[in-house]
């Protein structure tokens, strides 16, 4: 009997030992998971922005020269789990790029492409618009100079637009690189020769969306009378379709290679990317909820009457904005308005991104400030910007120049893990095209027309924010994440400017898409910024 009792006690001790050990392991595992999923309450996860990952650049690296630049290749482990609005979500579902379908950049000239022939004259270019509108125009003018056998004088940037930026070309772009990179395509010089400084110039506003014939016939004939032709505007002066492949490739070489930002902008952009990376994978949100966009588009949803009146007054007093009377409700119903910060917050939550997701706000001053950002800030507290990531002293060289500040946003957006634009304007299309060129990085393009219909129902109370809404939003955007789309030619039978647009009708609206599939290989034929969604 005593032996049996001792044996039972021994077994009981072993059971208790194993049980205590198991409980200890589970407790440690729970603590480990807690600190990985939720930041510690005793130690702030937010440090002074310029203290995070702060490294002074030892050399000025170019982020446009490699297909996958090693300095921006940090990708967190795919096994990581995140807590999202709909529970535990697989890391890959949130951050994984769309399939590339074996499409690769294809911008090298064909074997028949020759160096520039003897110049017939000089082409002066006055760009117009914001940063990305000017960049697209410059690329078009490079192609026009090639078509005209002209020497291109380094373009003059717009200093009279809404932003009143005094930057010169060399302040924003690497001027020497621009000239050298295009040496086999077009002769580019910094200034007009002295002997032609006072020569009579033909000032011409080139016809919008013009093809080869227009430039080879009507414009080239002006060389007989003038040595210098000045393009009064540069935006949308060249057709998208019916151009030789080598001209299309030249536009893209200009955009993705030659038109590199200045060394100081690239270096500062890299520093901002490194600091965003210190938080983990991040979303770059192009929040086009700025005064100029809202006044131009006439979108006033969610604004006070005083704010709406202010925007109307700006539109009426801006001479070169032709449309003055705009029905804001109709604009929004058609999907022509940028999403509001509140709507963006609902959209991100519906897609499943956790509240701890770092988000870089690529934008200028948000109209209405904190009053319109509160809901987005509540859902996603880790909202970052240039001003939060860098010190005043670091940003001082760029701060009074809208184009240079926009260039910093461009770099951080191109290198983000996910890019989401709230509106499909020049910046959004330029970034999306560049991300496609760099390997089809994940870019989620909101279907604004479908979204505002759903959000209006939530506002009226006929639809609740929850699984039903989330599932619908996810399904709508399943095929809007940056994967390749085949590009087709102009619609048969179209005439005039219509034939230079290409629309593919889909459930969500109209798209102009950027890829051309050759007979025997797959390669990207990006249309530079005229590559993707127009207005849905």
Name the helix (H) or strand (E) containing 152: strand 150-153
DSSP assignment string, 454-516: HHHHHHHTSS-TTHHHHHHHHHHTTT-SS---B---PPTT--GGGGG---EEETTEEE---BE
Joined together, the tokens standing for residue 450 give 């479908």
Supply the pLDDT for residue 532.
33
The phi, psi pair for 360, rounded to 5°, reads: -95, 120
Confidence band of 291 (pLDDT split at 50, 70, 90): confident
- Rounded Cα distance, 109 and 502, in Å: 24
Alpha-carbon distance of 70 to 63, in angstroms, equals: 9
Q: For the chain, what is the mean pLDDT?
A: 80
Ranking 61-75, 106-120, 369-383 by mean pLDDT, the lowest is: 61-75
CA–CA separation, 386 vs 364, rounded Å?
10
The residue behind tokens 């939003």 is: 473
Q: Phi first, then psi: give them for residue 501, nearest 5 degrees.
A: -110, 150
Q: How many Å apart are CA 217 and CA 17, to the nearest integer?
A: 93
Cα–Cα distance for residue pair 491/501, rounded to 1 Å: 8
What domains sit in the chain, N to C, each tagged with a CATH number?
95-260+494-535 (3.40.50), 263-289+338-478 (3.40.50)
CB contact set of 440 (below 8 Å; sequence gap of 6+)? 97, 98, 99, 100, 103, 482, 483, 484
Residue 274 has pLDDT above 60, yes or no: yes
User: In 3D, which of 189, 201, 256 has the Cα closest to residue 228?
Assistant: 201
- The pLDDT, as a whole number, for residue 24 is 55
Torsional class of 172: left (φ above 0), alpha (ψ -120 to 50), beta (otherwise): alpha
Among residues 511, 512, 514, the alpha carbon closest in space to that of 524 is found at 514
Q: Which of 11-15, 45-49, 393-397, 532-536 has the highest mean pLDDT?
A: 393-397
| Coil, helix or strand at residue 405 | helix
Tokens of residue 99, six digits: 């399939």
Q: How much is the pLDDT for 509?
A: 26
> Does the pLDDT at position 85 exceed 80?
no
In angstroms, how far is the first alpha carbon of the chain from the final one? 87
The span from the CA of 33 to the CA of 11, in Å, is 33
Has residue 121 got a pLDDT over 90?
Answer: yes
Contacting residues for 146 by C-beta, under 8 A, at least 6 apart: 116, 185, 186, 247, 250
Two tokens, residue 135: 């960049």
Q: Is the per-residue pLDDT at 67 higher than 60?
A: no
Q: Can you give 102-123 as a three-state secondary structure string?
A: CCCECCCCCCCCCCCCCCCEEE
Q: How many CB atoms lie within 10 A of CB 10?
A: 10
What is the predicted pLDDT for the residue at 365? 81
193: number of Cβ within 10 Å: 13
d(CA 495, CA 442): 36
CA distance 126 to 408: 23
**524/252: higher pLDDT:** 252
pLDDT number for residue 282: 98
Give the span between the Cα atoms of 524 and 516, in whole angstroms.
Answer: 6
**Cβ proximity of 442 and 465 under 8 Å:** no
The mean pLDDT of 256-275, rounded to a whole number, is: 98
What pLDDT, on a 0 to 100 scale, did the predictor assign at position 356? 95
**For the residues 288-305, what does the mean pLDDT come to?**
88
What residues contact 501, with CB distance under 8 A and at least 6 apart? 209, 240, 241, 490, 512
Specify the pLDDT at position 22: 60
Provide the pLDDT confidence category of residue 320 given band limits of 50, 70 and 90: confident
pLDDT confidence bin for 44, thresholds 50/70/90: very low
Q: Which residue has the higher pLDDT, 22 or 333?
A: 333
Strands (E), 296-344: none
**Mean pLDDT across 409-420:** 98
Give the number of residues written for the chain: 536
Residue 84: pLDDT above 50?
no
Which is more confident, 508 or 298? Answer: 298
Q: How many CB atoms lie within 10 A of CB 165?
A: 23
pLDDT for residue 92: 78
Q: Model pTM?
A: 0.78
Encoding tokens for residue 186? Answer: 């077009």
Smallest Cα–Cα separation from 348: which of 533, 166, 474, 480? 474
Q: For residue 251, what are the CA distances in angstroms to 140, 246, 406? A: 6, 9, 21
Say what the pLDDT of residue 334 is.
93
Q: Please, how many CA atoms are within 13 Å of residue 98, restricted to the half-sphere of its CB?
A: 24
Q: What is the mean pLDDT of residues 121-137?
A: 95
CA distance 385 to 276: 9
The pLDDT value recorded for residue 9 is 57
Lowest mean pLDDT segment, chosen from 168-172, 451-455, 529-533: 529-533
Q: What's the rounded Cα separation, in Å, for the pair 9 and 361?
A: 65
Contact 237, 144 (CB under 8 A): yes
Which residues are registered as beta bridge partners of 189? Answer: 153
Q: Which of 320-329, 460-469, 482-491 is the least confident region?
A: 482-491
pLDDT computed for residue 62 by the predictor: 40
Closest CA to 362 of 331, 383, 382, 344: 383
Q: What is the pLDDT of residue 491?
A: 53
Q: What is the pLDDT of residue 5?
A: 53
CA dihedral for 297, 301, 305, 307, sign (positive or negative): negative
């Amino acid at each position: 009997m005593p032996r049996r009792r001792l044996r039972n006690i021994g077994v009981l001790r072993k059971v208790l030992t194993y049980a205590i050990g198991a409980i200890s392991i589970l407790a440690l595992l729970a603590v480990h998971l807690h600190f990985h999923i939720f930041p510690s309450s005793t130690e702030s996860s937010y440090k002074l922005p310029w203290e995070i990952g702060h490294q002074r650049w030892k050399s000025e690296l170019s982020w446009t020269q490699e297909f996958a630049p090693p300095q921006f290749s940090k990708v967190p482990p795919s096994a990581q789990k995140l807590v999202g609005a709909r529970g535990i979500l697989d890391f890959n579902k949130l951050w994984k790029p769309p399939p590339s379908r074996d499409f690769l950049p294809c911008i090298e000239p064909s074997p028949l492409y020759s160096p520039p022939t003897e110049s017939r004259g000089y082409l002066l270019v006055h760009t117009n618009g914001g940063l990305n509108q000017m960049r697209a125009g410059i690329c078009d003018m490079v192609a026009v100079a090639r078509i005209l056998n002209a020497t291109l004088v380094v373009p003059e940037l717009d200093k009279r637009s809404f932003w009143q930026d005094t930057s010169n070309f060399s302040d924003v772009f690497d001027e020497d690189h621009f000239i050298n990179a295009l040496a086999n395509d077009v002769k580019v010089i910094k200034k007009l020769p002295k002997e032609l400084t006072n020569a009579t110039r033909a000032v011409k506003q080139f016809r919008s969306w013009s093809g080869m014939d227009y430039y080879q016939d009507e414009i080239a004939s002006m060389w007989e009378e003038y040595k210098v032709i000045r393009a009064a505007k540069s935006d949308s002066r060249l057709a998208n379709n019916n151009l030789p492949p080598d001209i299309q490739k030249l536009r893209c070489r200009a955009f993705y290679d030659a038109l590199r930002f200045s060394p100081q902008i690239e270096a500062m952009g890299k520093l901002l990317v490194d600091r965003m990376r210190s938080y983990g994978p991040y979303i770059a949100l192009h929040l086009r909820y700025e005064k100029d966009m809202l006044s131009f588009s006439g979108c006033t949803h969610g604004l006070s009457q005083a704010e709406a009146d202010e925007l109307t007054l700006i539109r009426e007093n801006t001479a070169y904005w032709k449309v003055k009377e705009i029905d804001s409700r109709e604009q929004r119903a058609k999907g022509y308005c940028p999403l509001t910060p509140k709507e963006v917050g609902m959209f991100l939550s519906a897609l499943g991104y956790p509240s701890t997701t770092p988000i870089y706000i690529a934008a200028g001053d948000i109209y209405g400030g904190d009053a319109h950002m509160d809901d987005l800030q509540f859902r996603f507290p880790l909202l970052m910007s240039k001003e939060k990531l860098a010190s005043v002293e670091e940003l001082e060289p760029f701060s009074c120049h809208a184009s240079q500040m926009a260039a910093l946003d461009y770099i951080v957006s191109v290198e983000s893990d996910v890019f989401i634009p709230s509106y499909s304007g020049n910046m959004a299309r330029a970034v999306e095209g560049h991300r496609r060129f760099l390997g089809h990085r994940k870019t989620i393009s909101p279907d604004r027309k479908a979204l505002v219909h759903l959000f209006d129902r939530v506002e009226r109370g006929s639809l609740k924010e929850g699984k039903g809404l989330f599932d619908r939003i996810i399904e709508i955007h399943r095929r809007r994440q940056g994967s390749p789309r085949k590009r087709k030619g102009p619609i048969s039978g179209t005439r005039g400017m219509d034939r230079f647009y290409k629309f593919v009708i889909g459930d969500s609206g109209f798209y102009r898409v950027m890829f051309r599939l050759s007979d025997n290989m797959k390669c990207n034929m990006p249309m530079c910024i005229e590559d993707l969604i127009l207005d849905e």
